[in-house]
């Protein structure tokens, strides 16, 4: 009651009780969801088996949906469309135990995305596990699948194996992407490094999502001095999962060897001035518009700092697929005029 004097420690007790209630509700929701997906798999298995034995077509499923809705009028999820998804679930996961370990840990709407977007069991399991671990929404899961996150994760060339301890190098590699997909940006014309940086900061939440799990923004154009000389780090992040600073340098053009030297200098300064004893080693990521892989490999071999060179795409994958490549454009131009290369 208002004005009542509460005993010492009441606030802590209230917070603990609220936390227990929330945890219990979460467990109940997960249990109900697991049972629902299990039910859908069993219904899908019955439909699939009957179709395979008796050759039932879609008309029978339509009638089945109508009869089920009549029998269970208060139950959602018994539409014709959903019954087809149940059949797809049973076809995709032959073992019900596998369903319980993967798909059943996600809401049914997420499972529908997995069934719609992915054909292979390995891909479905990978994205399902990632969605559970990171708490992705349906929209985020769809984006990660569409942008090919699994094939991009850890794909950037780096010198981590040679510059970091074995276990740490594997962990650090997993925070990399190649290419990074910045399809959320609205860049007109040929944007420079500063325009790209400003656009990324304007859409920081989307940028953090693309960087991956555990990234926290530290600063932009992070200023430091060395004996009176001024320097500026494009973007500085801290990955709290791996407890390490990540220095990101932006180049809209093609990677050049001197870029590695500049980034290595920044990483060395962060190591000496920002890293604490409990932190893992600082790593650097050079984000560029393109690269020659052999040039990148030689450049990374010549620096002592743990660095990676990754590219980025600022167009959605669907648009990239229909655009001609640079070689195709050059070939087309050769038909009309000489091309200076």
168: domain CATH number?
3.40.1350.10
Q: How confident is the model at residue 324 (pLDDT cuts 50, 70, 90)?
A: very low
- For residues 138 and 156, membership in a common domain is answered with no
Q: Which two three-digit tokens encode residue 206? A: 């989307």
**Higher per-residue pLDDT: 195 or 148:** 148
Decide if 333 is inside a domain: no
The confidence score (pLDDT) of residue 339 equals 33
- For residues 308 and 180, membership in a common domain is answered with yes
- pLDDT one-digit tens code per residue, 7-65: 777 788 888 888 888 888 777 777 778 888 889 999 999 998 888 777 777 788 888 99
Q: Which range among 46-55, 61-70, 212-221, 238-247 shows the weakest confidence by mean pLDDT?
A: 46-55
Q: Can you tell me the distance from the alpha carbon of 250 to that of 293, in angstroms, rounded to the nearest whole number? A: 17
* Full DSSP string of 91-127: HH-S-HHHHHHTGGGS-HHHHHHHHHH---HHHHHHH
A 10 A CB-CB count for 275 gives 16
- For residues 215 and 313, membership in a common domain is answered with yes
The domain boundary residue, chosen from 114, 142, 170? 142
pLDDT mean over 248-274:
94
Q: Can you tell me the distance from the alpha carbon of 180 to that of 312, in angstroms, rounded to the nearest whole number? A: 4
- For residues 106 and 216, membership in a common domain is answered with no
Q: Can you tell me the distance from the alpha carbon of 31 to that of 38, in angstroms, rounded to the nearest whole number? A: 11
pTM (whole model) above 0.75: no
- For residues 162 and 85, membership in a common domain is answered with no
Task: Please determine, for residue 319, whether its predicted confidence score (pLDDT) is greater than 50.
Answer: no
What is the residue whose two structure tokens read 């060339």?
Answer: 157
- For residues 126 and 52, membership in a common domain is answered with yes
DSSP state of 307: E
- For residues 163 and 32, membership in a common domain is answered with no
- pLDDT one-digit tens code per residue, 89-106: 999 998 888 888 888 888
Decide if 254 is inside a domain: yes
Decide if 341 is inside a domain: no
Pairing of strands 229-239, 244-254: antiparallel
Q: Which range among 72-86, 148-162, 311-325 shows the weakest confidence by mean pLDDT?
A: 311-325
Decide if 339 is inside a domain: no
Domain count of the fold of the chain: 2
Tell me the HSE value of 145 on the side-chain side, using a 13 A CA sphere. Answer: 27
pLDDT mean over 181-195:
73
Pairing of strands 283-290, 229-239: unpaired
Q: How confident is the model at residue 198 (pLDDT cuts 50, 70, 90)?
A: confident
Decide if 93 is inside a domain: yes
- For residues 211 and 137, membership in a common domain is answered with no
Decide if 45 is inside a domain: yes
- For residues 138 and 166, membership in a common domain is answered with no
Task: Please determine, for residue 242, whether its predicted confidence score (pLDDT) is greater than 70.
Answer: yes
- For residues 133 and 213, membership in a common domain is answered with no
Q: Can you tell me the distance from the alpha carbon of 135 to that of 101, in angstroms, rounded to the nearest whole number? A: 16
Q: Which among 18-27, 126-135, 169-178, 260-269 has the top mean pLDDT?
A: 260-269
**CB distance 285 to 237 below 8 Å:** no
Residue 79 structural domain? 10-142
pLDDT mean over 242-248:
95
**Higher per-residue pLDDT: 319 or 113:** 113
- For residues 69 and 164, membership in a common domain is answered with no
Strand ranges of the sheet holding 215-226, from the earlier edge strand across to the other edge: 180-181, 307-313, 283-290, 244-254, 229-239, 215-226
The confidence score (pLDDT) of residue 190 equals 60
The confidence score (pLDDT) of residue 315 equals 53
* Long-range contacts from 219-223, C-beta under 8 angstroms, 24+ separation: 221/197
- For residues 218 and 318, membership in a common domain is answered with yes
Decide if 299 is inside a domain: yes
Cα angle at 151 between 86 and 248, to 5 degrees? Answer: 130
Decide if 136 is inside a domain: yes
């Amino acid at each position: 009651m208002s004005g009542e004097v509460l005993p010492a420690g009441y606030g802590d007790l209230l917070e603990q009780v609220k936390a227990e209630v929330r945890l219990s509700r979460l467990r109940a929701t997960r249990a109900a969801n697991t049972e629902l997906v299990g039910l859908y798999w069993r219904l899908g298995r019955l439909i699939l088996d009957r179709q395979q034995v008796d050759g039932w077509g879609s008309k029978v499923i339509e009638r089945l949906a109508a009869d089920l809705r009549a029998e269970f009028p208060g139950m959602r999820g018994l539409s014709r469309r959903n019954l087809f998804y149940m059949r797809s679930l049973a076809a995709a996961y032959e073992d019900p135990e596998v369903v319980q370990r993967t798909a059943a840990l996600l809401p049914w709407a997420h499972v529908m995305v997995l069934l719609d977007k992915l054909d292979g069991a390995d891909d479905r399991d990978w994205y399902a596990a990632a969605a559970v671990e990171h708490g992705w929404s349906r929209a985020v899961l769809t984006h990660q699948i569409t942008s090919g996150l699994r094939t991009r994760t850890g794909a950037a060339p780096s010198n981590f194996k040679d510059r970091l301890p074995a276990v740490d190098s594997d962990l650090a590699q997993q925070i990399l992407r190649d290419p990074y997909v910045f399809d959320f940006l609205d860049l007109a014309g040929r944007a420079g490094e500063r325009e790209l940086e400003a656009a990324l900061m304007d859409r920081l939440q989307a940028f953090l999502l693309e960087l991956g799990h555990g990234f926290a923004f530290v600063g932009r154009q992070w200023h430091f001095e060395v004996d009176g000389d001024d320097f500026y780090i494009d973007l500085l992040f801290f990955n709290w999962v791996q407890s390490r600073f990540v220095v990101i340098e932006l180049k809209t053009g093609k990677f050049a060897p001197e870029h590695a030297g500049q980034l290595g200098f920044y990483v060395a300064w962060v190591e000496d001035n920002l890293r604490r004893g409990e932190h893992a080693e600082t790593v650097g990521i050079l984000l560029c518009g393109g690269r020659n892989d052999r040039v990148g490999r030689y450049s990374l071999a010549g620096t002592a700092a743990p660095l990676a060179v990754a590219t980025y795409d600022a167009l959605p994958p669907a648009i990239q697929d229909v655009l001609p490549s640079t070689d195709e454009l050059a070939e087309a131009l050769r038909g009309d005029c000489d091309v200076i290369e």
